[in-house]
């Protein structure tokens, strides 16, 4: 029996959850799904400039797990950009952190728990 997935800690939800190419006329609307924890890994490593080790500590996962999450997110981003496919962010196993428990100092932390498939509209 596989080990249950551990919830990843996320500081805040993305402001925009859907992205796509402009001016597409094709009837085929293919969308790639990125989980919130994959978005958080991209945000922490690429935007905030943190190392994978620092990212793993903030998300409360092992470094190898953070690396796997990050690599998965990069593949999805590359496919969206190269092939002109839409991107939707949502779902996954994560917990929004609380400013009192976080230590990141971002000031945007919230305390709510979402599971895959839950409505994440706030």
Estimate to the nearest angstrom the gap between the alpha carbon of 83 and the chain centroid.
21
Higher pLDDT, residue 12 or 73? 73
- Average confidence score pLDDT of the chain: 80
Instruction: Give the C-alpha separation, 38 to 69, whole Å.
Output: 5
What pLDDT digit, counting tens, does each position of 17-71 carry? 999 888 765 556 789 999 999 999 999 999 999 999 999 999 999 999 999 999 9
E strand map for 4-120: 8-10, 18-19, 31-34, 86-89, 94-96, 112-114
Instruction: Give the C-alpha separation, 56 to 50, whole Å.
Output: 10
Count the Cβ atoms, other than its own, within 10 Å of residue 114: 19
Of 5-9, 32-36, 89-93, highest mean pLDDT: 32-36
Candidate from 79-88, 89-98, 102-111 with smallest mean pLDDT:
102-111
pLDDT at 28: 60
Burial of 48 (0-12, 13-18, 19+ CB in 10 A): middle
């Amino acid at each position: 029996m596989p080990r249950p997935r551990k919830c990843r800690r996320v500081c805040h939800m993305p402001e925009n959850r859907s992205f796509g190419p402009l001016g597409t006329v094709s009837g085929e609307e293919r969308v790639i799904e990125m989980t919130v924890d994959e978005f958080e890994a991209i945000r922490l490593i690429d935007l905030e400039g943190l190392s994978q080790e620092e990212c793993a500590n903030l998300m409360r996962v092992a470094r190898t797990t953070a690396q796997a999450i990050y690599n998965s997110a990069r593949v999805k981003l590359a496919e969206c950009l190269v092939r002109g496919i839409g991107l939707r962010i949502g779902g996954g196993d994560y917990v929004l952190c609380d400013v009192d428990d976080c230590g990141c100092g971002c000031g945007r932390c919230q305390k709510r728990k979402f599971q895959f498939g839950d409505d994440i509209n706030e």
